[in-house]
Amino acid sequence: MNKLYNKWLNIEDKEIKEQLQKMTDEDINSNFCGKLEFGTAGLRGIMDLGTNRLNKVNICKLANAVLIYFQKKGYNRIVIGFDTRNNSKEFSKIFAKVLADGGVHVNLYNHFVPTPVLIFSIGQTKSDMGIMITASHNRKEYNGIKISGCDGIQISGDVEKEINKLYSKLDEVELYNNYYLTKKHNNRNIHGISNRVKKNFLGEFYKNRLNSSLNIIYTPLNGTAYEYVIKALKGTGFKKIVTPFSQKHASGMFKTCPYPNPEMVDSYKESLKKTDMFDADVIVATDPDGDRMGAMIKSTKGYRQLTGNEIGFLFLNYIFENNEREKNKFAVSTVVSSPMFFNMCDYYGIKYEKTLTGFKNLGRAKVALEDKYGKDGFIMAYEESCGYIVKDNFYDKDGIFALLKFCEIASYLKNSGSSVEEYLNEIYSKFGNIYSLNSHIIFDGENALERMNESVNQLREKGVKVFLKRKITEVVDYLTDKTGLEKSNFIEYKTKDFSFIIRPSGTEPKLKFYIHASGKTLDESKKLANEVVEAIKKELFGIE
């Protein structure tokens, strides 16, 4: 019998014990095959009972690890928010109770809130950290915790390691029984959030007033951002906005978009139904916690979804051409972003920094460049997975501001007698037809994360020299080579007309691929990129 499962049978919560006793052997083996690990600025997993799942017991354990960290550092203030997912509000209350019992002044949202607003709240409440209960764009089964520092940036690797060390030493069953269930909680240390914070956040939008005729379909994908996006758009001068009713209201079930991710074309199905009655110029979407945005545009061949890289191209070109930053211009992106973005920077004389994936890296690179060149020179930061910073005083991705900037660009082009498609085609014509495409393999079952990471190690040992009948001209191993970046389990392969990076996700058992292909035309580049995706799955991992 599983030792971890047997230990959990000692939990003195009647409801939990009853659910544990109903578990099948298959459930036990899956849910207790290991322990959920803290990393990538937080914790994320499937919601269920077990050491390898996200639940009240593990939330209590992590909250205690954060409390110990606070006590070691002498911190005493935190702000906590949550999204629309199932159990998010309950998890936020557990976190708040544990920290409040430890003497921490807790500002707790009583209503779901987008991650960008939570990040903004850290400074507004003068907190030492911010906690957001969310699984971002993952499926409904998932939930998680994001932790940010007082600077509004996701916690660094050193802080992650320190909290993880504390977390791994704690006994979750003992904590839950003897501390959380029996202790009389000190709710006097739990405080609400002033409406002033929300007003101040929204006030950031109303500095530029437009008179726009742009027709917009917007979907929050049943998430947190609807109220904020609508107020931002209307307050800035956008009047024609339609939202599909099925995705307008908060829901943790995501019935019409099982994978609520603006990178995925399925997320736009409900919005596309609206185009029969509403001639939309653009369709825009935010993920459930509002920190990512994606878009479709009206094109000569119907509606076309833009990649995260293409939106990045638009932001860079528009902000530079409109001289929104007068001097010391600089931008930040990641090693998996399109090479075309950096070609554009070189052409325009824009300084840039390449980082590893994740906005904990992008945010810190932005700070370093501001220290070097001055804050007034910042243009943008982005990663290809639809995460953007387009505002100078923000340091984490913000789907709300990015969406507003995208609609501003589309409106400007429409008023000029052009379109987003024409503008994007001009960018491709000027800088080369490099098309970027992302894909992945999902690992299921026992030890999924371990098997995923091992698959990359096996690839490393194999030593790929020929791929898709092309000679590999260069291999960059971010784990063993000197790249100037933190060691990470990425491998990059380059040929004469395409390159690709393979890396394991830091938050879920998903092996990711990032392909950049170059052809004589954009259609040729797209065709080659798709061939590379299929070849990666077949030639490297044996998946037909």
State both tokens at 46. 């499937």
The pLDDT value recorded for residue 191 is 96
DSSP SS3 for 45: strand
pLDDT of residue 424: 96
Long-range contacts formed by 482-489: CB under 8 A, 24+ apart: 485/335, 485/354, 485/355, 485/356, 486/157, 486/356, 488/356, 489/453, 489/456
Mean pLDDT of the chain: 93
Nearest alpha-carbon partner for 87 in 36, 37, 144: 144
> Which of the following CATH numbers is that of domain 204-431: 3.40.50.1220, 3.30.450.40, 3.90.1150.10, 3.40.120.10?
3.40.120.10
Measure the CA–CA gap between 65 and 147, rounded to whole angstroms: 12
Residue-level pLDDT at 1: 64
Residue ranges in the chain whose pLDDT is less than 70: 1, 207, 324-328
DSSP 295-356: EEEEETTEEEEPPHHHHHHHHHHHHHHTT-S-SS-EEEEETTS-HHHHHHHHHHT-EEEEE-
- Return the bridge partners of 330, or none: 351, 378
CATH topology of domain 3-198: Alpha-D-Glucose-1,6-Bisphosphate; Chain A, domain 3 (3.40.120)
Give the CA distances from residue 241 to residues 244, 275, 288, 473, in Å, rounded to whole numbers and listed in that order: 10, 12, 19, 49
Token pair in block for residue 496 = 């004469």
Q: Side by side, which strands form the sheet with 351-355? A: 351-355, 330-334, 378-383, 387-389
Torsion from C-alpha of 178, 182, 188, 193, nearest 10 degrees:
80
pLDDT for the residue numbered 322: 84
Are residues 531 and 468 in contact, defined by beta-carbon separation less than 8 angstroms? yes
pLDDT at residue 413, as a whole number: 96
CB 280 within 8 A of CB 215: yes
Common-topology check for domains 3-198 and 204-431: yes
> Would the pTM of this model clear 0.85, i.e. be above it?
yes
| Domain boundaries along the sequence of the chain | 3-198, 204-431, 434-540
The contacts of residue 294 (CB under 8 Å, 6+ apart) are 261, 262, 263, 267, 284, 285, 305, 306, 308, 311, 386
Say if residues 167 and 65 touch (Cβ distance below 8 Å): yes
Task: Answer whether CATH 3.10.300.10 is correct for domain 434-540.
Answer: no
Give just the sign of the alpha carbon dihedral 180, 182, 186, 190: positive
Closest CA to 420 of 230, 259, 267, 280: 280
* In contact, 224 and 114? CB cutoff 8 Å: yes
